[in-house]
Structure 1
């Protein structure tokens, strides 16, 4: 169970930047150079975000910026773990990259049916500069694809549906028990 929890925490770190101001649902596919692929379902409202991860076991991560909290929900165990929200845990669904220094226009491409502008983005990560490619869909003002320059990872959004999302998606389901780390380890 701890491996699953820390996998989600690492996944959230890789998905860091800022939350969108509009409501949508989408499939998010994260591919790694090792051949690993993670598919999740994502839902978003202003200051609220939900990610449903199916493999290896079902896990739901709800980020509530309005409450400054993240809930890692384990449906199989009917349990959840609460962690404090930090800026590093915002999902990557805006045009501007966290720590962005430079944005260079590369060209136009179509990604999953959306006309997109491709950019080479340089951003500050700790003490060093990193680079990624970003495909920003001009029809929906959304980053439909982001990839490491060395192609070590790619994040794509598919089946994007813009529209209202139920508030119930962004709360811990009733009947779930709060899980505490052994030995009093706490994230707060």
Structure 2
């Protein structure tokens, strides 16, 4: 469960990249562009399972994911200005680079890779009023997400709290009672070095958490997602790709 929640934080970064690169309405894009905070995963009893650190600066995004089960600590950096995403293995001091375009991001938003058609994805939203979360006014809504993949239908229902100031939800709770909360928000400029691969890190052939595979017809495994972490997951409920 912890790993899946950590992977959800990575998908938050992908969605934020889509907003920055391809644009969307002011009603969806957050009004604050430079900030940082903790994405805290909670179980149904309210106990903290894991905490990921998120940084946003002028459209650039950094997600620091702690070690989870058999996956070591990982950093994901998305750069809309370069249309690239880096997945960094902190322990091994290596990184995986992936070029991102509109099609890649759209495919990833459905929990798959660029080479995997994922079928239909429908989101239904029901307004539930307003509520304060962590000091911010939010719009509360129930989100029903239905996906059809390889002939099977998957449906999930979550409650989401969105603030106009930020691209990410301040709270999201699933049907089992587990939740994600964006806490300890600090608004302000972020160091530019946070959005670069650290010096001395080597480029790897595979994604962090997966063994290197030297396959001539699949250079750098560009279209291979970390399916163990992302299988069956879509975008965080309540979030939409531009144009949806």
TM-score per shorter chain, which class?
0.7 to 0.9
Shift of 1:169: 1.1
Shift of 1:100: 6.1
The change in CA–CA distance for 1:113 and 1:47 in structure 2 (over 3 A counts) is closer
Counterparts in 2 of 1:9-158, with a 5 A limit?
10-11=7-8, 15=12, 18-19=15-16, 22-32=33-43, 37-56=49-68, 57-85=72-100, 86-87=104-105, 88=108, 101-126=123-148, 128-137=154-163, 140-141=165-166, 143-151=169-177, 153-158=178-183
Per residue, is there more strand in 1 or in 2?
A: 1
Shift of 1:16: 6.8
Deviates more, 1:153-162 or 1:79-88: 79-88
Runs of 5+ unmatched residues, structure 2: 17-28, 111-120, 207-211, 223-244
Shift of 1:136: 1.7
Structure 1 residues 39-95: Cα deviation after superposition (integer angstroms, max 9, x where no partner): 0110012432101123344321112233332212123322212234332369xxxxx
Deviates more, 1:17-26 or 1:81-90: 81-90
Give the count of matched residue pairs. 173
Shift of 1:161: 1.7
Q: Contact (CA 8 Å) 1:23, 1:45: kept in 2 or not? A: yes
CA-based RMSD:
3.2
Q: Contact (CA 8 Å) 1:84, 1:187: kept in 2 or not? A: no
Structure 1 residues 116-170: Cα deviation after superposition (integer angstroms, max 9, x where no partner): 22111233434555332111235x355211122342x421100112222222211
The alignment's TM-score, normalised by the length of structure 1, stands at 0.73
Runs of 5+ unmatched residues, structure 1: 1-5, 91-98
The change in CA–CA distance for 1:176 and 1:89 in structure 2 (over 3 A counts) is farther
The change in CA–CA distance for 1:141 and 1:13 in structure 2 (over 3 A counts) is closer
In 2, the alpha carbon distance for the partners of 1:31 and 1:52 equals 17
The alignment's TM-score, normalised by the length of structure 2, stands at 0.58
In 2, the alpha carbon distance for the partners of 1:184 and 1:8 equals 30
